[in-house]
Protein backbone atom coordinates (compact mmCIF):
# COMPACT_ATOMS: atom_id res chain seq x y z
CA UNK A 1 0.00 0.00 0.00
CA UNK A 2 2.62 2.65 0.86
CA UNK A 3 4.13 1.99 -2.56
CA UNK A 4 1.08 3.57 -4.21
CA UNK A 5 1.31 6.71 -2.15
CA UNK A 6 5.05 7.02 -2.33
CA UNK A 7 5.72 5.77 -5.87
CA UNK A 8 7.04 9.09 -7.16
CA UNK A 9 9.77 9.25 -4.53
CA UNK A 10 12.04 6.87 -6.43
CA UNK A 11 12.64 5.01 -9.67
CA UNK A 12 11.27 1.84 -8.00
CA UNK A 13 14.37 -0.17 -8.88
CA UNK A 14 16.24 -2.35 -6.44
CA UNK A 15 17.93 -0.61 -4.74
CA UNK A 16 15.86 2.47 -5.54
CA UNK A 17 17.32 5.80 -6.53
CA UNK A 18 15.35 8.49 -4.74
CA UNK A 19 14.44 11.90 -6.11
CA UNK A 20 14.70 15.15 -4.23
CA UNK A 21 11.72 17.45 -3.67
CA UNK A 22 12.13 20.81 -5.38
CA UNK A 23 9.03 22.21 -3.73
CA UNK A 24 6.68 21.17 -6.50
CA UNK A 25 7.77 17.80 -7.78
CA UNK A 26 10.00 14.83 -7.04
CA UNK A 27 12.86 14.95 -9.48
CA UNK A 28 16.36 13.67 -10.22
CA UNK A 29 19.23 16.11 -9.99
CA UNK A 30 20.89 17.35 -13.15
CA UNK A 31 24.20 16.61 -11.38
CA UNK A 32 23.72 12.98 -12.37
CA UNK A 33 25.37 12.18 -9.04
CA UNK A 34 23.94 10.20 -6.16
CA UNK A 35 25.04 9.24 -2.67
CA UNK A 36 24.62 5.66 -1.40
CA UNK A 37 22.65 4.98 1.75
CA UNK A 38 23.79 1.69 3.27
CA UNK A 39 22.12 -0.23 6.06
CA UNK A 40 24.23 -0.44 9.23
CA UNK A 41 22.70 -3.88 9.77
CA UNK A 42 24.40 -5.62 6.85
CA UNK A 43 26.12 -2.96 4.74
CA UNK A 44 23.65 -3.42 1.87
CA UNK A 45 22.84 -0.36 -0.22
CA UNK A 46 19.20 0.34 0.54
CA UNK A 47 18.89 3.34 -1.73
CA UNK A 48 20.64 6.21 -3.42
CA UNK A 49 19.84 9.86 -2.87
CA UNK A 50 20.40 12.78 -5.23
CA UNK A 51 23.33 15.09 -4.84
CA UNK A 52 21.64 18.38 -5.78
CA UNK A 53 23.46 21.17 -7.60
CA UNK A 54 23.90 24.72 -6.36
CA UNK A 55 21.54 26.06 -9.03
CA UNK A 56 18.89 23.54 -7.94
CA UNK A 57 19.38 24.84 -4.41
CA UNK A 58 18.96 28.42 -5.64
CA UNK A 59 15.74 27.62 -7.48
CA UNK A 60 14.26 25.62 -4.62
CA UNK A 61 15.04 28.31 -2.07
CA UNK A 62 13.48 30.98 -4.31
CA UNK A 63 10.33 28.83 -4.45
CA UNK A 64 10.36 28.60 -0.66
CA UNK A 65 10.77 32.37 -0.43
CA UNK A 66 7.79 33.02 -2.71
CA UNK A 67 5.57 30.34 -1.16
CA UNK A 68 6.17 31.65 2.34
CA UNK A 69 4.12 34.80 1.77
CA UNK A 70 1.02 32.81 0.79
CA UNK A 71 1.52 30.28 3.57
CA UNK A 72 1.77 33.04 6.17
CA UNK A 73 -1.53 34.45 4.87
CA UNK A 74 -3.39 31.18 5.54
CA UNK A 75 -5.06 31.36 8.98
CA UNK A 76 -3.07 29.47 11.58
CA UNK A 77 -6.02 27.25 12.47
CA UNK A 78 -5.98 25.97 8.88
CA UNK A 79 -2.23 25.51 8.85
CA UNK A 80 -2.72 23.51 12.03
CA UNK A 81 -5.34 21.26 10.40
CA UNK A 82 -2.86 20.37 7.65
CA UNK A 83 -0.26 19.50 10.27
CA UNK A 84 -2.71 17.35 12.26
CA UNK A 85 -3.42 15.50 9.04
CA UNK A 86 0.33 14.90 8.59
CA UNK A 87 0.43 13.47 12.12
CA UNK A 88 -2.40 11.10 11.23
CA UNK A 89 -0.59 10.03 8.04
CA UNK A 90 2.49 9.21 10.11
CA UNK A 91 0.39 7.08 12.45
CA UNK A 92 -1.29 5.43 9.48
CA UNK A 93 2.11 4.43 8.04
CA UNK A 94 3.72 3.70 11.41
CA UNK A 95 4.66 0.11 10.60
CA UNK A 96 6.14 1.00 7.23
CA UNK A 97 8.12 3.97 8.60
CA UNK A 98 9.33 1.94 11.58
CA UNK A 99 10.59 -0.82 9.30
CA UNK A 100 12.38 1.71 7.12
CA UNK A 101 14.02 3.39 10.09
CA UNK A 102 15.29 0.06 11.41
CA UNK A 103 16.87 -0.71 8.04
CA UNK A 104 18.26 2.75 7.44
CA UNK A 105 19.81 3.63 10.78
CA UNK A 106 19.85 0.31 12.64
CA UNK A 107 17.44 1.26 15.44
CA UNK A 108 15.81 -1.57 17.30
CA UNK A 109 12.12 -2.20 16.68
CA UNK A 110 10.99 -0.59 19.92
CA UNK A 111 13.22 2.46 19.46
CA UNK A 112 12.15 3.01 15.86
CA UNK A 113 8.46 2.65 16.64
CA UNK A 114 8.81 5.05 19.54
CA UNK A 115 10.49 7.63 17.30
CA UNK A 116 7.71 7.45 14.71
CA UNK A 117 4.81 7.64 17.15
CA UNK A 118 6.45 10.33 19.23
CA UNK A 119 6.88 12.38 16.05
CA UNK A 120 3.16 12.21 15.30
CA UNK A 121 2.35 13.31 18.86
CA UNK A 122 4.86 16.11 18.59
CA UNK A 123 3.23 17.45 15.42
CA UNK A 124 -0.17 17.52 17.12
CA UNK A 125 1.25 19.28 20.16
CA UNK A 126 3.05 21.91 18.09
CA UNK A 127 -0.03 22.53 15.97
CA UNK A 128 -2.15 23.06 19.10
CA UNK A 129 0.40 25.14 20.98
CA UNK A 130 0.92 27.43 17.98
CA UNK A 131 -2.61 28.68 18.56
CA UNK A 132 -1.57 29.97 21.96
CA UNK A 133 1.27 32.15 20.68
CA UNK A 134 0.55 35.73 21.64
CA UNK A 135 1.81 39.17 20.85
CA UNK A 136 1.12 41.96 23.35
CA UNK A 137 0.23 45.58 23.75
CA UNK A 138 2.36 47.98 25.80
CA UNK A 139 1.70 51.52 26.88
CA UNK A 140 4.48 54.12 27.07
CA UNK A 141 3.11 55.56 30.29
CA UNK A 142 4.85 53.01 32.52
CA UNK A 143 8.33 54.30 31.59
CA UNK A 144 9.60 57.54 33.15
CA UNK A 145 9.19 60.52 30.84
CA UNK A 146 6.45 58.95 28.67
CA UNK A 147 2.66 59.17 28.75
CA UNK A 148 -0.40 57.49 27.27
CA UNK A 149 0.14 58.96 23.81
CA UNK A 150 2.58 56.20 22.88
CA UNK A 151 1.43 52.61 22.50
CA UNK A 152 3.09 49.55 21.02
CA UNK A 153 1.16 46.78 19.28
CA UNK A 154 3.62 43.89 19.33
CA UNK A 155 2.97 41.03 16.94
CA UNK A 156 4.77 37.73 16.52
CA UNK A 157 5.68 37.26 12.88
CA UNK A 158 7.45 34.43 11.05
CA UNK A 159 11.14 34.74 10.22
CA UNK A 160 10.72 33.72 6.58
CA UNK A 161 12.73 30.84 5.11
CA UNK A 162 14.13 28.44 7.71
CA UNK A 163 16.88 25.96 6.89
CA UNK A 164 16.48 22.75 8.92
CA UNK A 165 19.39 20.32 9.18
CA UNK A 166 18.82 17.05 11.05
CA UNK A 167 21.21 14.33 12.29
CA UNK A 168 21.19 10.62 11.54
CA UNK A 169 20.15 9.42 14.98
CA UNK A 170 16.58 10.79 14.94
CA UNK A 171 16.01 11.58 11.28
CA UNK A 172 12.23 11.68 11.65
CA UNK A 173 11.73 13.05 15.14
CA UNK A 174 14.35 15.78 15.00
CA UNK A 175 13.18 16.79 11.53
CA UNK A 176 9.61 17.04 12.79
CA UNK A 177 10.83 19.13 15.74
CA UNK A 178 12.09 21.70 13.22
CA UNK A 179 9.64 21.47 10.32
CA UNK A 180 6.43 21.61 12.38
CA UNK A 181 7.12 24.71 14.49
CA UNK A 182 8.42 26.50 11.39
CA UNK A 183 5.26 25.68 9.44
CA UNK A 184 2.69 26.40 12.12
CA UNK A 185 4.20 29.86 12.65
CA UNK A 186 4.02 30.67 8.91
CA UNK A 187 7.61 30.05 7.81
CA UNK A 188 8.63 27.97 4.82
CA UNK A 189 11.18 25.19 5.20
CA UNK A 190 14.33 24.23 3.35
CA UNK A 191 15.02 20.76 4.69
CA UNK A 192 18.46 19.14 4.49
CA UNK A 193 18.14 15.58 5.83
CA UNK A 194 21.11 13.59 7.10
CA UNK A 195 22.53 11.29 4.41
CA UNK A 196 21.98 8.30 6.68
CA UNK A 197 18.29 8.82 7.43
CA UNK A 198 17.57 10.66 4.19
CA UNK A 199 15.17 8.04 2.89
CA UNK A 200 12.96 8.25 5.99
CA UNK A 201 13.15 12.04 5.68
CA UNK A 202 11.96 11.92 2.08
CA UNK A 203 8.92 9.90 3.16
CA UNK A 204 8.31 12.47 5.87
CA UNK A 205 8.43 15.27 3.29
CA UNK A 206 5.89 13.47 1.14
CA UNK A 207 3.61 13.03 4.13
CA UNK A 208 3.60 16.79 4.74
CA UNK A 209 2.88 17.30 1.03
CA UNK A 210 0.03 14.78 0.92
CA UNK A 211 -1.43 16.36 4.06
CA UNK A 212 -1.74 19.62 2.16
CA UNK A 213 1.38 21.74 2.73
CA UNK A 214 1.28 23.87 -0.44
CA UNK A 215 3.88 23.88 -3.21
CA UNK A 216 7.18 25.50 -2.30
CA UNK A 217 6.42 25.71 1.42
CA UNK A 218 8.68 22.75 2.03
CA UNK A 219 11.64 21.83 -0.18
CA UNK A 220 13.89 18.88 0.60
CA UNK A 221 17.41 18.99 -0.73
CA UNK A 222 19.64 15.95 -0.45
CA UNK A 223 23.38 15.43 -0.74
CA UNK A 224 26.32 15.08 1.60
CA UNK A 225 26.67 17.81 4.19
CA UNK A 226 30.25 18.39 3.14
CA UNK A 227 29.09 18.94 -0.47
CA UNK A 228 26.06 21.18 -0.06
CA UNK A 229 26.05 22.21 3.63
CA UNK A 230 28.13 25.37 3.38
CA UNK A 231 26.26 26.57 0.31
CA UNK A 232 22.91 26.06 2.02
CA UNK A 233 23.92 27.63 5.32
CA UNK A 234 25.39 30.76 3.75
CA UNK A 235 22.59 31.22 1.23
CA UNK A 236 21.45 34.86 1.31
CA UNK A 237 17.76 33.84 1.11
CA UNK A 238 17.93 31.78 4.31
CA UNK A 239 16.60 33.69 7.33
CA UNK A 240 17.38 31.18 10.09
CA UNK A 241 19.31 27.94 10.54
CA UNK A 242 18.06 25.25 12.90
CA UNK A 243 20.62 22.47 13.19
CA UNK A 244 21.05 19.30 15.17
CA UNK A 245 24.33 17.43 14.91
CA UNK A 246 27.85 17.22 16.20
CA UNK A 247 29.59 20.07 17.99
CA UNK A 248 32.26 20.03 15.30
CA UNK A 249 29.84 20.68 12.43
CA UNK A 250 27.75 23.05 14.57
CA UNK A 251 30.76 25.26 15.28
CA UNK A 252 31.80 25.13 11.63
CA UNK A 253 28.35 26.35 10.53
CA UNK A 254 28.13 28.99 13.27
CA UNK A 255 31.43 30.48 12.15
CA UNK A 256 30.21 30.76 8.56
CA UNK A 257 26.66 32.00 8.59
CA UNK A 258 26.83 35.56 9.86
CA UNK A 259 24.06 37.58 11.45
CA UNK A 260 20.94 35.41 11.25
CA UNK A 261 19.16 33.63 14.11
CA UNK A 262 20.33 30.12 14.93
CA UNK A 263 18.91 27.28 16.97
CA UNK A 264 21.57 24.63 17.46
CA UNK A 265 21.52 21.30 19.31
CA UNK A 266 24.99 19.77 19.31
CA UNK A 267 27.03 17.06 21.03
CA UNK A 268 26.11 15.81 24.51
CA UNK A 269 28.78 13.90 26.51
CA UNK A 270 26.64 13.83 29.62
CA UNK A 271 27.88 12.96 33.12
CA UNK A 272 26.03 11.41 36.06
CA UNK A 273 27.05 12.09 39.66
CA UNK A 274 26.09 9.42 42.19
CA UNK A 275 25.89 10.64 45.77
CA UNK A 276 26.58 8.10 48.54
CA UNK A 277 22.93 8.02 49.65
CA UNK A 278 21.55 7.07 46.21
CA UNK A 279 19.35 4.02 45.70
CA UNK A 280 22.03 1.93 43.98
CA UNK A 281 19.64 -0.55 42.36
CA UNK A 282 17.50 2.14 40.72
CA UNK A 283 20.59 4.15 39.79
CA UNK A 284 22.24 1.17 38.11
CA UNK A 285 19.10 0.54 36.04
CA UNK A 286 19.01 4.17 34.89
CA UNK A 287 22.70 4.13 34.00
CA UNK A 288 22.26 1.04 31.85
CA UNK A 289 19.31 2.55 30.00
CA UNK A 290 21.04 5.92 29.76
CA UNK A 291 24.26 4.49 28.39
CA UNK A 292 23.11 1.81 25.97
CA UNK A 293 19.76 2.81 24.40
CA UNK A 294 20.22 3.09 20.63
CA UNK A 295 23.78 1.88 21.13
CA UNK A 296 24.72 5.06 22.98
CA UNK A 297 24.09 7.11 19.84
CA UNK A 298 21.99 9.71 21.60
CA UNK A 299 23.01 13.24 22.49
CA UNK A 300 21.41 12.56 25.87
CA UNK A 301 23.25 9.29 26.58
CA UNK A 302 25.15 8.98 29.87
CA UNK A 303 28.81 8.95 28.90
CA UNK A 304 30.52 8.99 32.29
CA UNK A 305 29.67 8.38 35.92
CA UNK A 306 31.34 10.24 38.77
CA UNK A 307 31.42 8.90 42.33
CA UNK A 308 33.55 8.44 45.42
CA UNK A 309 35.38 5.07 45.70
CA UNK A 310 32.85 3.39 48.06
CA UNK A 311 29.95 4.54 45.87
CA UNK A 312 31.47 3.21 42.67
CA UNK A 313 32.40 -0.03 44.42
CA UNK A 314 28.73 -0.45 45.32
CA UNK A 315 27.10 0.59 42.05
CA UNK A 316 29.51 -0.77 39.43
CA UNK A 317 28.78 -4.49 40.02
CA UNK A 318 25.06 -3.69 39.84
CA UNK A 319 25.53 -1.87 36.53
CA UNK A 320 27.40 -4.91 35.16
CA UNK A 321 24.69 -7.26 36.45
CA UNK A 322 21.93 -5.13 34.94
CA UNK A 323 23.74 -4.89 31.61
CA UNK A 324 24.09 -8.68 31.44
CA UNK A 325 20.44 -9.08 32.32
CA UNK A 326 18.89 -6.32 30.20
CA UNK A 327 21.03 -5.74 27.12
CA UNK A 328 20.83 -8.15 24.24
CA UNK A 329 23.04 -7.26 21.30
CA UNK A 330 22.08 -8.41 17.81
CA UNK A 331 20.21 -7.75 14.60
CA UNK A 332 17.80 -4.93 15.45
CA UNK A 333 15.12 -6.41 13.16
CA UNK A 334 14.64 -9.10 15.79
CA UNK A 335 12.38 -7.50 18.42
CA UNK A 336 14.10 -9.25 21.38
CA UNK A 337 17.40 -7.47 20.64
CA UNK A 338 17.84 -4.05 22.19
CA UNK A 339 21.37 -3.12 21.14
CA UNK A 340 22.03 -2.88 17.44
CA UNK A 341 25.00 -1.79 15.34
CA UNK A 342 26.49 1.69 15.31
CA UNK A 343 25.85 3.75 12.23
CA UNK A 344 28.99 3.03 10.16
CA UNK A 345 32.32 1.23 10.05
CA UNK A 346 34.07 4.56 10.56
CA UNK A 347 32.06 5.16 13.74
CA UNK A 348 32.85 1.64 15.00
CA UNK A 349 36.57 2.15 14.21
CA UNK A 350 36.62 5.37 16.23
CA UNK A 351 34.81 3.85 19.23
CA UNK A 352 37.07 0.78 19.24
CA UNK A 353 40.16 2.97 18.95
CA UNK A 354 39.09 4.99 21.98
CA UNK A 355 38.33 1.90 24.09
CA UNK A 356 41.77 0.47 23.31
CA UNK A 357 43.45 3.79 23.98
CA UNK A 358 41.70 4.10 27.35
CA UNK A 359 42.82 0.56 28.19
CA UNK A 360 46.40 1.42 27.25
CA UNK A 361 46.14 4.43 29.56
CA UNK A 362 45.17 2.12 32.46
CA UNK A 363 41.42 2.28 32.35
CA UNK A 364 39.95 -1.13 33.19
CA UNK A 365 37.46 -2.84 30.90
CA UNK A 366 34.94 -4.23 33.36
CA UNK A 367 32.48 -5.50 30.77
CA UNK A 368 32.37 -5.80 26.98
CA UNK A 369 34.97 -3.92 24.98
CA UNK A 370 34.93 -6.11 21.88
CA UNK A 371 33.75 -5.25 18.41
CA UNK A 372 32.47 -7.27 15.50
CA UNK A 373 31.86 -5.23 12.37
CA UNK A 374 29.54 -2.37 13.30
CA UNK A 375 28.49 -4.09 16.54
CA UNK A 376 30.25 -2.83 19.66
CA UNK A 377 29.56 -4.75 22.85
CA UNK A 378 27.99 -2.72 25.65
CA UNK A 379 31.18 -1.57 27.31
CA UNK A 380 31.81 -0.50 30.90
CA UNK A 381 35.13 1.06 31.86
CA UNK A 382 36.50 1.83 35.31
CA UNK A 383 39.39 4.07 36.44
CA UNK A 384 38.81 6.51 33.59
CA UNK A 385 40.31 9.97 33.89
CA UNK A 386 38.71 13.13 32.45
CA UNK A 387 41.67 13.74 30.14
CA UNK A 388 41.16 10.41 28.31
CA UNK A 389 39.68 10.79 24.87
CA UNK A 390 36.90 8.29 25.63
CA UNK A 391 35.17 10.94 27.76
CA UNK A 392 37.02 14.11 26.83
CA UNK A 393 35.24 14.13 23.45
CA UNK A 394 31.77 12.65 22.94
CA UNK A 395 32.09 8.92 22.11
CA UNK A 396 28.98 8.14 20.07
CA UNK A 397 28.62 4.47 20.96
CA UNK A 398 27.64 2.03 23.74
CA UNK A 399 30.39 2.88 26.22
CA UNK A 400 30.06 4.17 29.77
CA UNK A 401 33.06 5.22 31.84
CA UNK A 402 33.38 5.34 35.62
CA UNK A 403 35.50 8.14 37.03
CA UNK A 404 36.58 7.85 40.67
CA UNK A 405 36.63 11.24 42.38
CA UNK A 406 37.97 12.37 45.74
CA UNK A 407 35.19 14.88 46.45
CA UNK A 408 31.94 16.19 44.98
CA UNK A 409 33.74 19.47 44.30
CA UNK A 410 36.06 17.55 42.01
CA UNK A 411 33.03 16.26 40.10
CA UNK A 412 31.77 19.83 39.71
CA UNK A 413 35.13 20.96 38.37
CA UNK A 414 35.24 18.12 35.84
CA UNK A 415 31.73 18.85 34.56
CA UNK A 416 32.03 22.62 34.57
CA UNK A 417 35.43 22.56 32.84
CA UNK A 418 34.09 20.33 30.05
CA UNK A 419 33.59 21.92 26.64
CA UNK A 420 30.11 20.32 26.55
CA UNK A 421 27.01 21.38 28.48
CA UNK A 422 23.87 19.53 27.45
CA UNK A 423 22.63 17.63 30.51
CA UNK A 424 23.87 16.04 33.74
CA UNK A 425 22.23 13.61 36.14
CA UNK A 426 22.41 13.48 39.92
CA UNK A 427 21.40 10.35 41.80
CA UNK A 428 20.53 10.84 45.48
CA UNK A 429 17.77 10.06 47.94
CA UNK A 430 17.92 13.63 49.25
CA UNK A 431 16.06 15.84 46.75
CA UNK A 432 17.16 19.02 48.56
CA UNK A 433 20.82 18.05 48.25
CA UNK A 434 20.17 17.20 44.60
CA UNK A 435 18.68 20.62 43.92
CA UNK A 436 21.54 22.39 45.70
CA UNK A 437 24.09 20.49 43.65
CA UNK A 438 22.12 21.02 40.44
CA UNK A 439 22.35 24.78 40.91
CA UNK A 440 26.15 24.54 40.76
CA UNK A 441 26.31 22.49 37.57
CA UNK A 442 26.83 24.47 34.41
CA UNK A 443 24.81 22.54 31.80
CA UNK A 444 21.51 23.06 29.98
CA UNK A 445 19.41 20.72 32.15
CA UNK A 446 20.07 18.73 35.31
CA UNK A 447 18.06 15.57 35.94
CA UNK A 448 17.63 14.32 39.48
CA UNK A 449 17.25 10.53 39.75
CA UNK A 450 16.88 9.93 36.02
CA UNK A 451 19.08 9.50 33.01
CA UNK A 452 19.42 12.60 30.82
CA UNK A 453 16.63 12.88 28.32
CA UNK A 454 14.88 15.11 25.86
CA UNK A 455 11.31 15.51 26.83
CA UNK A 456 8.57 15.62 27.60
CA UNK A 457 8.88 17.79 24.53
CA UNK A 458 7.23 20.84 26.03
CA UNK A 459 10.04 21.15 28.60
CA UNK A 460 12.84 23.51 27.58
CA UNK A 461 15.72 21.64 25.98
CA UNK A 462 19.03 23.33 25.46
CA UNK A 463 22.76 22.92 25.35
CA UNK A 464 25.31 25.48 26.44
CA UNK A 465 29.00 25.80 25.53
CA UNK A 466 29.78 23.36 22.69
CA UNK A 467 26.40 21.65 23.12
CA UNK A 468 24.24 24.22 21.43
CA UNK A 469 22.73 27.67 21.16
CA UNK A 470 19.14 28.73 21.76
CA UNK A 471 16.30 26.90 23.48
CA UNK A 472 14.00 24.21 22.05
CA UNK A 473 10.86 22.71 23.56
CA UNK A 474 7.46 23.35 22.07
CA UNK A 475 6.70 26.94 23.17
CA UNK A 476 10.37 27.93 23.16
CA UNK A 477 10.89 26.66 19.61
CA UNK A 478 7.78 28.49 18.42
CA UNK A 479 9.15 31.67 19.94
CA UNK A 480 12.57 31.10 18.40
CA UNK A 481 11.03 30.69 14.94
CA UNK A 482 9.13 33.96 15.16
CA UNK A 483 10.22 37.47 15.97
CA UNK A 484 8.53 40.32 17.74
CA UNK A 485 7.35 43.14 15.54
CA UNK A 486 6.32 46.26 17.42
CA UNK A 487 4.14 48.80 15.63
CA UNK A 488 4.20 51.99 17.69
CA UNK A 489 1.12 54.20 17.66
CA UNK A 490 1.75 57.84 18.49
CA UNK A 491 -1.54 59.49 19.37
CA UNK A 492 -2.10 63.22 19.34
CA UNK A 493 -1.40 64.96 22.69
P1 LIG B 1 26.86 15.52 11.99
O2 LIG B 1 27.85 14.69 11.32
O3 LIG B 1 27.28 16.80 12.62
O4 LIG B 1 25.69 15.79 10.90
C5 LIG B 1 24.51 16.47 11.24
C6 LIG B 1 23.88 17.04 9.99
O7 LIG B 1 24.72 18.07 9.47
C8 LIG B 1 23.73 16.02 8.85
O9 LIG B 1 22.54 16.30 8.15
C10 LIG B 1 24.94 16.30 7.99
O11 LIG B 1 24.76 15.90 6.64
C12 LIG B 1 24.99 17.82 8.09
N13 LIG B 1 26.27 18.44 7.75
C14 LIG B 1 27.51 17.89 7.72
N15 LIG B 1 28.41 18.84 7.34
C16 LIG B 1 27.72 19.99 7.14
C17 LIG B 1 28.07 21.32 6.77
N18 LIG B 1 29.32 21.68 6.49
N19 LIG B 1 27.11 22.24 6.66
C20 LIG B 1 25.82 21.93 6.93
N21 LIG B 1 25.41 20.69 7.29
C22 LIG B 1 26.36 19.74 7.41
O23 LIG B 1 26.09 14.71 13.15
P24 LIG B 1 25.50 13.24 13.09
O25 LIG B 1 26.63 12.29 13.11
O26 LIG B 1 24.48 13.15 12.02
O27 LIG B 1 24.71 13.20 14.48
C28 LIG B 1 25.32 12.87 15.70
C29 LIG B 1 25.65 14.10 16.49
O30 LIG B 1 24.47 14.88 16.70
C31 LIG B 1 26.17 13.77 17.89
O32 LIG B 1 27.22 14.64 18.21
C33 LIG B 1 24.97 14.04 18.78
O34 LIG B 1 25.29 14.33 20.12
C35 LIG B 1 24.35 15.21 18.07
N36 LIG B 1 22.95 15.33 18.43
C37 LIG B 1 22.60 16.31 19.29
C38 LIG B 1 21.30 16.41 19.72
C39 LIG B 1 20.88 17.47 20.70
O40 LIG B 1 19.70 17.63 20.88
N41 LIG B 1 21.79 18.17 21.33
C42 LIG B 1 20.33 15.49 19.26
C43 LIG B 1 20.74 14.50 18.38
C44 LIG B 1 22.05 14.42 17.96
P45 LIG B 1 25.34 14.48 6.15
O46 LIG B 1 24.64 13.44 6.95
O47 LIG B 1 24.96 14.47 4.73
O48 LIG B 1 26.80 14.53 6.39
Tell me how far apart the alpha carbons of residues 92 and 96 are, in angstroms, rounded to a whole number.
9
Give the position, in ligand 1's atom list, of the atom nearest the Cα of 245.
30
**Rounded-to-integer distance, Cα 6 and Cα 28, Å:** 15
Task: For residue 339, report the distance from its CA to the centre of ligand 1, in Å.
Answer: 22
pLDDT tens for the chain, residues 1 to 493: 566 789 999 999 999 999 999 999 999 999 999 999 999 999 999 999 999 999 999 999 999 999 999 999 999 999 999 999 999 999 999 999 999 999 999 999 999 999 999 999 999 999 999 999 999 999 999 999 999 999 999 999 999 999 999 999 999 999 999 999 999 999 999 999 999 999 999 999 999 999 999 999 999 999 999 999 999 999 999 999 999 999 999 999 999 999 999 999 999 999 999 999 999 999 999 999 999 999 999 999 999 999 999 999 999 999 999 999 999 999 999 999 999 999 999 999 999 999 999 999 999 999 999 999 999 999 999 999 999 999 999 999 999 999 999 999 999 999 999 999 999 999 999 999 999 999 999 999 999 999 999 989 999 999 999 999 999 999 999 999 999 999 999 999 8
Angle in degrees, CA 254, 260, 264, rounded to 5? 45
Residue among 105, 167, 174, 197 whose CB has most ligand 1 atoms within 8 A, to mutate: 167
* CA distances from residue 449 to 293, 382, 411, 418 in whole angstroms, order as listed: 17, 22, 17, 22
Please report, for the chain, how many H helices and E strands are present, in that order.
16, 24
In our burial notation (b when 16+ CB lie closer than 10 A, e otherwise), range 142-163 reads eeeeeeeeebbeeebebbbbbb
299 catalytically annotated: yes
What is d(CA 220, CA 195) in angstroms, rounded to the nearest whole number?
12
Specify the pLDDT at position 203.
97
Active site residue 372: no
Q: Which of 115, 265, 352, 394 is catalytic?
A: 265
How far is the centre of ligand 1, averaged over its atoms, from the C-alpha of 395 (Å)? Answer: 14
From 115, 299, 352, 394, active-site residue: 299
Residue 244 is given by DSSP the state E
- For residue 64, the CA-to-ligand 1 centroid distance in Å is 23
CA of 223, closest atom in ligand 1: 47
225 Cα: distance to centroid of ligand 1 (angstroms): 9
Q: Ligand 1: which of 241, 245, 342, 419 to mutate, judged by most atoms within 8 Å of the beta carbon? A: 245
Contacts for 481 with CB less than 8 Å, ≥ 6 apart: 158, 159, 162, 181, 182, 185, 187, 240, 242, 263
Q: How confident is the model at residue 2, as a pLDDT?
A: 62
Q: CA 167 to CA 178: how far, in whole Å?
A: 12
Left, alpha or beta for 32 (phi > 0: left; psi -120 to 50: alpha)? left
Residue 254: exposed, middle, or buried by beta-carbon count in 10 A (0-12, 13-18, 19+)?
A: middle
Neighbours of 52 (CB within 10 A): 28
Protein residue whose Cα sits closest to atom 30 of ligand 1:
245
- What does the alpha-carbon distance between residue 175 and residue 167 come to, in Å, rounded to a whole number? 8
> What is the residue-wise DSSP string for 353-391?
HHHHHHHHTT-EEEE---EETTEE--EEEES--TTSHHH
183 touches 160 (CB < 8 A): no
Distance CA 262, CA 241 (A): 5
Helix (H, G, I), strand (E, B) or coil at 242: strand
Atom 15 (ligand 1): residue with closest C-alpha?
A: 225
- Ligand 1 atom with minimal separation from the 167 CA: 26
Beta strands (DSSP E) in 31-132 are 34-38, 45-50
What is the distance in A from the centroid of ligand 1 to the CA of 477?
19
Q: Specify the pLDDT at position 440.
A: 98
Task: List pocket residues of ligand 1, CB cut-off 6 Å.
Answer: 165-170, 174, 192, 194-195, 224-226, 229-230, 233, 244-246, 249, 252-253, 265-268, 299, 394, 396, 422, 463, 467-468
pTM score over 0.85: yes
Instruction: For 399-436, give the DSSP string.
Output: EEEEEEESSHHHHHHHHHHSS--SEEEEE-S-HHHHHH
Distance 166 CA to ligand 1 centre (A): 6
Distances (CA, A) of 472 to 59, 248, 251, 458: 30, 20, 18, 9
- Closest Cα partner for 462 from 451, 449, 474, 471? 471
Q: Candidates 173, 176, 249, 443: which one to mutate for ligand 1, based on the most atoms within 8 Å of Cβ?
A: 249
Q: How far is the CA of 193 from the centre of ligand 1 (A)?
A: 10
Indicate which residue's Cα is closest to atom 22 of ligand 1: 225
DSSP lists the bridge partners of residue 310 as none
For ligand 1, atom 8, the nearest C-alpha belongs to 194
Q: Report the atom number in ligand 1 closest to the C-alpha of 165.
A: 9
What are the CB-based long-range contacts (under 8 Å, 24+) for 41-45?
A: 41/102, 41/103, 41/106, 41/331, 41/332, 41/333, 41/340, 41/341, 43/374, 44/15, 45/15
Amino acid sequence: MPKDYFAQLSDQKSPPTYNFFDGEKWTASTSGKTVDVTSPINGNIIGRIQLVTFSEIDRAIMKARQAQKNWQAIPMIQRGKILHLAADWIRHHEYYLTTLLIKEIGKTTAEAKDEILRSADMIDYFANEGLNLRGEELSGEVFPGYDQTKMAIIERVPLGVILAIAPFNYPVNLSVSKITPALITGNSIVFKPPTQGAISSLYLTEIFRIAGVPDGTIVTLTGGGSDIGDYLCTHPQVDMVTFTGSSLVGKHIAEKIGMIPILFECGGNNPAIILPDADMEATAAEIVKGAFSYSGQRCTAIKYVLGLDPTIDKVLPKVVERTKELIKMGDPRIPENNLGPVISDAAADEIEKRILLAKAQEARIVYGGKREGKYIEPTILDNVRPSMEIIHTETFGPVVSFVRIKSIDEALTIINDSSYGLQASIFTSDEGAGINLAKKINVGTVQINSKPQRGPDHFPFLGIKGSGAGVQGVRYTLEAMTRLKPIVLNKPQ
